[in-house]
Amino acid sequence: MSTEILVITGPESSGKTTLATQLADYWKTPLVAEASRDYLKGRDSYQQHDLLEIAKQQHKQEQTVLSPLPGRMVCDTDLLVIMIWSEVKYQHCDPWITSTFENSINQQTSSRYYFLCDSNIPWQADPLRENPHNRDELFDLYLQKLKEYELDYRIVKGEPQERLQQVLDSSVS
């Protein structure tokens, strides 16, 4: 049995968590939460090695949900976010993150579909967010990576209900 993995991705404050939660609730399917929130909670700063730990936790959460092979699961981000985050902040991504991401997208037991959230919604301040002024640039980086890896993706735009409907209307729903 193959698992359909729907990954919600995009720049900070682009509605990823809202959309991921809506989809998991709609389909009553497992949701893999963003690991960085719990990891960074209560910290004043982080270093590049923290991104590797966050990536390992994110991957472990995804693998835990995948272990019983559900028919479908929703991921509020995946290692692609951490790759881009690392490259933007540190101009380098740990090889473990890159190779694990590449292995994940090539798994034969699952199909991945990416939904790239457009950043044209109001910025919501949050102590864990860093990039209020370059979301369009970050969006372009996500788009570039999705194309580079030849991943199945769709851009979602508009208000939360519009985004949800765009995913539901797509061929993967």
Q: Tell me the domain boundaries of the chain.
A: 3-169
Mean per-residue pLDDT, 1-26: 91
Residues in the chain: 173
Cα angle 142, 144, 145; round to 5: 65
Among the listed residues 129, 126, 4, 145, the one whose alpha carbon sits nearest the alpha carbon of residue 75: 4
**pLDDT tens figures, 92-151:** 999 999 999 999 998 877 889 999 999 887 657 666 666 667 889 999 999 999 999 999
Mean per-residue pLDDT, 11-18: 90
pTM of the shown model: 0.90
Sign of CA dihedral 165, 169, 170, 173: positive
CB 152 within 8 A of CB 51: no
Strands (E), 10-89: 31-32, 72-76
* Domain covering 3-169, topology: Rossmann fold (3.40.50)
Q: Which two tokens stand for residue 76?
A: 């509020």
**pLDDT tens figures, 41-68:** 888 888 899 999 999 999 999 999 887 7
